[in-house]
Amino acid sequence: MHDPRAILEARLGARRGAVAAWERRDARIAFLRLLGFAALTAVAVLSLALHRLSAWWLLAPGALFLALVVWHDRTLRRLTRARRAVAFHQEGLARLDGSWAGRGDGGERYAADDHPYAKDLDLFGRGSVFELLCTARTRPGADLLARWLLAPAPVAQVRARQGAAADLAPRLDLREDLAVLGGDARAELHPDRLAAWAELPRALPGWLALPALLAGGVALAALVGWFAGAVPGLAVVGVAAVEWLALRAAQGTLAEILGGVERPGAELLLLADLLARLEREPLEDARLRDLGAALGTGREAASARIRQLGRIVDRGGWADNQVFAPVAFLLLWRLQAALAVERWRAAHGRQVRAWLGAAAELEALSALGAHAFLHPGDPYPELLEPAGGARFEAEGLAHPLLHEGRAVRNDVRLGAGARLLIVSGSNMSGKSTLLRTVGVNTALALAGAPVRARRLALTPLQAGATLRIQDSLAEGRSRFYAEITRLRALLDLAAGTPPLLFLLDELLAGTNSRDRRIGAEAVLRTLLARGAVGLVTTHDLALSEAATALGEAANAHFEDEVHGGEVVFDYRLRPGVVTRSNALALMRAVGLEV
């Protein structure tokens, strides 16, 4: 088994050395640029002001200064890449140290209130599962990774993702190369909008290209003729007026054509660079080879075609340059750009959706592979066929958001014989964390990721939880009403496929003990009748007695001890019902007189 910390620390040291070397070169070139500028200034003064040298003497220092500017620009780009490489390895070490929260994309935009488990399991937000996993540089990649966490995949898809992620896990050079490219393509590049735009029918006829080119040529010739005194100014004004009217008439069409790609112009070029790096990677896994084939090769590769579109958009943006704008107007520059985009769209528009999909899947799989690399002790779960009913069998299960050195591992078995586990225990003993541990590892398992366990075997399951039920003053809902509404949704889920894995925290705690027991037993009985499996936590020991009445249920509990007035927890799951409560001890610990 490899040591990810040792590997990352060694590479980080090398990248820091590279940064230091590029910084030294940057300082030397900056000094040379200063000398070159001083020489150019001196020659300019001698030749232009004092007339002691010919103006031709400006060529040598001018060329030298220009060469230094180009050299300096390349050096700064390499320095930037080296610094990004340092940041990439620092982020990897932060994930190992448990200090990664708040440094990445939390994916808050994906956390829908009505999702059956996203908020309950902390899938999104600061310090979330998504932030832990996500290394995607593009919005399509981040979107797809989020969808994988939000919906369990069929067994065949999960196994395909596991194989691809295992293939990508050791490819640290690939992940570093992707990390050091350009900026962030998640800001403006909306895949669905871009794909829909690319598939629109032509808005401008192809035959318009020649008249537009001729019109621009005539306008430019008229302007040159006016400067030469051969063409009257009124003729130039007339040509410009005709062009203005034509552009005015086509304004809406041009905005429709160019609007879909002008905002994400820089992101398109970054996407092209990302695709080019992915296309160069020799892929062995069958699913990865299929995705690579979808991206194409050579001049027909997706990266080449998207870079072509990015260049068209970049050139079209020259029309906004204040210096070039008058010439751009006479040359009908925006119209020419729109026609070029139309030609590109007609030739390649139908492929854009497939390209974005393949790139997104490669990025999402790379994120799973990166997580596997950082946690070599986390296995891929075994996927069981659902023919024998829902099952969840975990040994040494722990929460992946807890530091590996601090997390307490427990065994959890749901299925034949005990499809329901009623977990009792005192406050802060670990009951809710156990539910989240089961739920998060299930979401990871059915997304295709490794899990935090010594072993996990499970059938396809649809998780549903009541861990973050809240009241709503704006909607006039109490917590109890919000909970029973969620329970109604979970019962509906249990009637479908795959089977439901329910994670119910303090079931029906918002009502009296008698109504609670009657209601809880009815809900659990219906869930079990519909083939669901799951866990329920409770402080109410009367609910623990339901295990006998329901059948196919078992009790488990967490314990605590009081030492010197302090409550101590070991977070170990034990069979049976808890025998004591720590509520009074906790009250006394915070100074309440009870």
- What are residue 477's phi and psi, to 5 degrees? -115, 135
Q: How far apart are CA 244 and CA 250, in angstroms?
A: 10
Residue 547: burial class (beta carbons within 10 Å; 0-12, 13-18, 19+): buried
Cα(282)–Cα(292) distance, integer angstroms: 9
Burial class (CB within 10 angstroms; exposed 0-12, middle 13-18, buried 19+) of 372: buried
| Top-tier CATH class for 382-589 | alpha beta
Which residues pair with residue 261 across a beta bridge? Answer: none
Rounded-to-10 torsion of CA 32, 33, 39, 41: -160
pLDDT at 48: 60
* Cβ-proximal residues to 505 (8 Å cutoff; 6+ apart), any chain: 431, 432, 435, 465, 466, 467, 537
Alpha carbons within 13 angstroms on the beta-carbon side of residue 67 total: 9
Give one DSSP letter per residue of 310-334, joined into a string: HHHHHHHGGGG-TTTHHHHHHTTHH
What is d(CA 145, CA 164) in angstroms, rounded to the nearest whole number? 14
Q: What is the pLDDT of residue 56?
A: 61
pLDDT of residue 356: 87
Residue found under tokens 């050791």: 170
Question: Which ranges of 98-152 would DSSP assign to H, the alpha helix?
Answer: 129-133, 139-150
Report the C-alpha gap between 265 and 269 in whole angstroms. 7
pLDDT of the residue at 236: 64
* Half-sphere exposure at residue 479, Cβ-oriented, CA atoms within 13 angstroms: 12
Pairwise CA distance, residues 588 & 594, whole Å: 7
Are 212 and 343 a contacting pair, CB within 8 Å?
no
Q: What is the pTM of this model?
A: 0.84
Q: How far is CA 76 from CA 13, 87, 133, 190, 533, in A?
A: 20, 16, 31, 30, 58
**What pLDDT digit, counting tens, does each position of 246-256 carry?**
667 667 777 77
Name which of 574, 552, 575, 555 is nearest 419 in CA terms.
Answer: 552
Sign of the Cα torsion 419, 425, 427, 428 reads negative
**What distance in Å separates the CA atoms of residue 45 and residue 48, rounded to the nearest whole number?**
6
Predicted confidence pLDDT, tens digits, the chain (594 residues): 799 999 999 999 999 999 999 999 999 999 988 888 888 788 777 766 655 555 566 677 778 888 888 898 899 989 999 999 999 999 999 999 988 888 888 999 998 888 999 999 999 999 999 999 999 888 889 999 999 999 999 999 999 999 999 999 999 999 999 888 865 555 556 777 778 777 877 767 766 666 666 766 676 676 676 666 666 766 666 766 766 776 676 677 777 767 766 665 666 777 788 888 888 888 889 999 998 888 887 777 888 888 888 888 877 777 666 666 677 677 677 777 888 888 888 888 888 888 888 889 999 999 999 999 999 999 999 999 888 889 999 999 999 999 887 889 999 999 988 999 999 887 778 889 999 999 999 999 999 999 999 999 999 999 999 988 765 555 556 778 888 888 899 999 999 999 999 999 988 876 777 777 888 888 999 999 999 999 999 877 777 777 777 878 899 988 877 666 677 788 899 898 877 666 666 666 666 665
Return the axis-axis angle of helices 4-44 and 59-97, rounded to nearest 10°. 160
- Architecture, CATH, for domain 134-204+255-374: Orthogonal Bundle (1.10)
Residue with tokens 């996990």: 456
Q: Are 215 and 332 in contact (CB under 8 A)?
A: yes
Q: Closest by alpha carbon to 351, among 420, 275, 433, 406? A: 275
What is the helix (H) or strand (E) element at residue 91, kind and residue range? helix 59-97
User: 296 vs 223, 303, 353, 355, CA distance in Å?
Assistant: 45, 9, 14, 9
Say whether 62 sits in a helix, a strand or coil: helix
- Please spell the DSSP secondary structure of 501-547, one letter per residue: EEEEESTTTTS-HHHHHHHHHHHHHHHHHTT-EEEEEES-HHHHTHH
pLDDT, one tens digit per residue, over 224-240 is: 766 666 667 666 667 66
